[in-house]
Structure 1
């Protein structure tokens, strides 16, 4: 039999199974991770647009305070930064000024451009908000007060070193105790780190003596007793000062000094002599010479005046102003009473002779 051709099987197209679409846009898998992402990347709030002006070719002496005061005439100034050297702290000659509104900043830049100030032509340019990609007001220069009390500008590194040195030089008891506790904690951490190597730091550690309540109470009582003692001593001194001085203390040795004087005469004798003199003058006529009273001039008082030239004189080898030493003032031991007595004695000696005696002497 001849071969028979078999019919070819018909191809039946199978229906394709629908493929599951994977959402690749999902970034967060769980709610916890979503919270963590939100905390790590906080959304930055849009700041209002500000206007910044760059000022160049600034003269010396035109610093932060002067910049703020000068640019305040255009509008409200928010921030000012003068470029300074990290090594010396001196001005570099340019600054950034931030205004509240960009329009005000633009006006300020236009007016201050090519402005002559202290023999220098100032250059100013406006930076719009879209071009403010860099923080122009970030700086590592800090203001510090030196030993002389003057404000200077230094780098943040030098300020940190100065702060640490000041902290280490603080020898207050509480500060020392705090430092020792911090150092002990560092040593304990090292001991835990090198525990496997068999290194022991316990021999090196000396724990500080902690104050108890009893010691603090004792110190407070001692301080209170010392304060009470000082107050009592001050009261005693005030009471002694308020006491009325005795008559003997006030007089001193004045009685002895008057008695030692050679010209000392009792006041009663002086009065009697003066009365006799007045009667003689009334009864007997006197000559022209007797009319004239003998007056002894009082010694002039010396005034120790120190002139400015004497004060400013300098000795060789000395730098300060040398004050001239005043000579000791010699006090007049003779009082007014003794001088009166001397005058009375001189008058009694210079009395004119009576008429009968005068004729006998002529013969």
Structure 2
């Protein structure tokens, strides 16, 4: 009998070792990992550069306190805001924490309470972020949610009419990850931005899954008409080390002043070392171009999957969803048997989240396994 609370539906696999795009379980079985901790290990498993930097830091200092100056935080904040209209950063430990910080900042900044989010969105599992999330299954059994979150229809122009002078912020993902890998349409985002400007409404972009190069740019919003007041990042920022960040404009510095927000572990030396090394690896233009090229190649190959099996392949960069005509749980299990790890995004979508350093031969191997499993399902 396990002493763990049963909050996860776990696969019967224990992974104990990893390098690059591959992991090994307790039975010695090797897997090509296209989950990467759910878009966390963007540099792959145990990237040598990140490992070296963190190992060096382990020999120096693990934790101090945010009562003291941190040059490491300053350096990472500069990398996160460089060449951007965003200028200020608050460090925490997870995406949910970053979103909670954004929630507090919006309430204090605007002195309003109405926040518009979208159906099928996902923003975390703390109590306020359950209210922000547009999926009822996340909220089931927890009673009344934090009030004043209203959920609009994603990619729906008429829904934007709900934006008004009473609205504090519109909060969205550029690509809904947990909701099915659904990209926001360019024209719709343009209309959203125009409407928020009209009523002086803040824009919050949840980049927890899409940020740190996953879509082929530092942040997904950079490929859109959006100019957010706040973005939140986490998953890919530390190559597997827990770290999150709220990134905002200079105006917010007059709102989040000493005593308004804090975190004991946020921005600790180990997390900042991992984040700095990760950003140095991922953010060069040539690396982002490679992510875009590899994503296009993967999308093109997956477009050849049988139409009787697959409804649509969509995504951006190396964040790709395969929407099927059937539940994908058996397909994910079958892919595990071939040595490929993937994750779902709702009941009918297979989500692919490989390392951003995945090689073309590794992409071809994954494509071969996916095509083989789909072909077997068609023949059954």
Q: TM-score range by the shorter chain?
A: under 0.3
Greater Rg over alpha carbons, structure: 1
More helix by share: 1
> Of the two structures, which has the highest relative contact order with CA contacts closer than 8 Å and spacing of 6 or more?
2
Higher strand share: 2
Superposition TM-score, scaled by structure 1 size: 0.14
